Amino acid sequence: MASRVSTASQRHAAVAILRSASATRDLSKGMALHARLILSTPFDIVLHNHLIAFYAKCGCLGLARKVFDAMPFRNSVSGNFLMSGYISSGHHRDALGLLRVIDFGGSWMVRTIVRSMARAVEQWDHVSYVTVLGHCASMKDLVLGVQVHAQALKRRLELKVYVGSALVDMYGKCDCAHDAHCVFEVLPEKNVVSWTAIMNAYNQKELFEDALQLFLDMEMSGVRPNDITYAVALNNCAGLAALRTGSALGVSALKTGYWRYLPVSNALINMYSKSGSIKDAWKVFTSMPYHDVVSWNLTITGYAHHGLAREAMEAFHYMLSVAEVPSYVTFVGVLSACAQLGLVDEGFYYLNTMMKEVGVIPGKEHYTCMVGLLCRAGRLDEAEQFIMSNCIVTDVVAWRSLLISCQVYRNYGLGHRVAEQILLLKPNDVGTYVLLSNMYAKANRWDGVVKVRKLMRNMGVRKEPGVSWIQVGSEVHVFRAEDKVHPQMDQITEKLEELIYQIKAIGYIPNFAMVLHDIEDEQKEEHLMYHSQSSVVQYIPRKGYQIHPCRLSAAIQNEVHVTLLIYFDVIKKILTEKPEIDEAYREATLRNAS
């Protein structure tokens, strides 16, 4: 009896050592323990399982495997540790081979799954299912996910809360919100993770309102949100630019103490930024005790989105000064800021020198920014060369950027070439076809206009209704392209025309858009004037455009920026009698928060 107690406590201590060695990736510490363990008798399966976990964490899959193979007997935990080790280090084939889900005779994916799955699946425990489903979720492997689901059903495991939540998440990540919902609905016990997973599935599908409703349902059912739940809910607000709801959630997170968690404060930055309140986003940032690279990236790209490229660059340099290492996304933000400011040399310095220094390999998005930068500087031919020599010839976005600049600089010769180039890529979004049609119209190539129209019809490309909305106070003002039902429509249109007149007077080409007009009338000069690349409007993937109070087009300079700010002030005043109330409310919220 006494010896058993001592063994148990020794085991406890050994597990603790292995855990800490895993956490710090202290290979020698764990190996020393391993050496002692080999000599000790009797064989302890729990310790050996943790040994597998330790080696797997340290990236020594070979050693983990050796321990596994040398064990006189194993349990499902041994397999799970090894498998999650393989999965997290990317050896998916080995991981799944371990449990013989898949034969590796040929392609590892689809065909062999069904045949071989039944063989070893009886060795799985419920954690195996969770592990594999997590893998399916991150790989978006719906085919395997469905197979696993079928097996789970057979063994009646799908109602267990961990397995169920993993299923909900898997379907959500695979873009099957409906299936996620079905699994979620029948779960007899739903915990905070199940709720968060389903909310996130709706978020993925851009069903933001439904996701927010789920947040309320969850609270009604007595489940408390955690930091991730708040983050997901705030991301839904960001998708709707629902400033009021987002602020309220921020206050709620403050009350419950989740405000200080990184996912929550990052989501708050995102929400404020996407809702047009970049100042509040910055206030959140400065009130955070520490930041991660996502916080920085959100701030940098947030400023860039608002046309505040100077501030974006400042934030970037601030980031470097506190020795935070920029990431792939950081450089996307920085280069887009450079593009706005026309900083060609600096842009190339970041692309060719700094990115190499910090070990970030430039990708499509960076090259696309560089195209935008060259276009912004009016170096259209270089931009064309750049596209062709940087493996982004198939990137519609890059060509579109060039196409727009061709219009701005009235270089219709190049514009025509670019349009032909884009057509070869067979784009499938309306926006591109509208741009193409505009280009041809401007270049007086009516044959081109007809061609584009025909293509759109044949491909079944339908025009999404242009919708803009802005939240002022507690009201959301919606503007549809095809109707003019907003009571203050006349006033707003009048102001818009006035502003465009002013911009033209200073000599700028008004390429900012406010989608209050009908994009059906592509041929009208008026339309060509209003409709162009994103600027005052921010595209929201779901259904339309969100007017940003201070978003500024790359091609518009400072004095126009000021005009725009004034202009949006005017709009706000038109839309609300007492705009300062909303302002005061936000101030109060922020004061509470910090």
Partner DNA sequence: CGTCCCCATT
Is 328 a binder of DNA (CB under 7 A)?
yes
DSSP at 137: H
Is 329 a binder of DNA (CB under 7 A)?
yes
Task: List all residues 6 or more positions away from 32 whose beta carbon is below 8 Å from its beta carbon.
Answer: none
51 vs 554, which CB is nearer to DNA?
554
Q: Using CB under 7 A as the criterion, what x/- string covers residues 346-385 for binding DNA?
A: -----------------xxx--xx--x-------------
Task: List all residues 6 or more positions away from 209 whose beta carbon is below 8 Å from its beta carbon.
Answer: 240
Task: List all residues 6 or more positions away from 147 whose beta carbon is below 8 Å from its beta carbon.
Answer: 101, 113, 114, 117
Binders of DNA in range 425-464 (CB under 7 A): 431
Binders of DNA in range 527-546 (CB under 7 A): 533-534, 539
Cis peptide before 326 (omega within 30 of 0): no
CB of 493 to DNA, least distance (A): 25
Size of the site for DNA (CB under 7 A): 74
In angstroms, the CA 23 to CA 33 distance is 15
116 vs 299, which CB is nearer to DNA?
299
CB of 266 to DNA, least distance (A): 6
Is 193 a binder of DNA (CB under 7 A)?
yes
Binders of DNA in range 116-145 (CB under 7 A): 125-127, 130-131, 134, 137-138
Is 162 a binder of DNA (CB under 7 A)?
yes
Is 84 a binder of DNA (CB under 7 A)?
yes
Helix (H), strand (E) at residue 570: helix 558-575
Binders of DNA in range 303-322 (CB under 7 A): 304-305
Q: Which of 145, 307, 333, 347 binds DNA (CB under 7 A)?
A: 333
In the sheet with 544-547, reading across from the earlier edge strand, the strands are 475-480, 467-472, 544-547, 537-540
Is 270 a binder of DNA (CB under 7 A)?
yes
Binders of DNA in range 41-60 (CB under 7 A): 53
158 vs 582, which CB is nearer to DNA?
158
Across the chain, how many H-helices and E-strands are there?
32, 4
> 498: number of CA atoms within 13 Å, CB side?
13
Is 166 a binder of DNA (CB under 7 A)?
yes
Q: Which of 332, 341, 492, 556 binds DNA (CB under 7 A)?
A: 332
Q: Which of 77, 212, 308, 537 binds DNA (CB under 7 A)?
A: 77
CB of 127 closer than 8 Å to CB of 76: yes
CB of 577 to DNA, least distance (A): 33
CB of 511 closer than 8 Å to CB of 535: yes
528 vs 574, which CB is nearer to DNA?
528
Query: Shortest CA distance to 359 belongs to which of 338, 330, 316?
Result: 330
Taking the alpha carbons at both ends of the chain, their separation in whole angstroms is 57
Q: Which stretch binds DNA (CB under 7 A): 62-70, 392-400, 473-481, 575-583?
A: 392-400
CB of 356 to DNA, least distance (A): 18
Q: Which of 439, 554, 555, 560 binds DNA (CB under 7 A)?
A: 554
Residue the block writes with tokens 């997290």: 88
Binders of DNA in range 227-256 (CB under 7 A): 228-229, 231-232, 235
CA angle (138, 368, 559) in 5-degree steps: 120
Is 191 a binder of DNA (CB under 7 A)?
yes
In angstroms, the CA 14 to CA 72 distance is 20
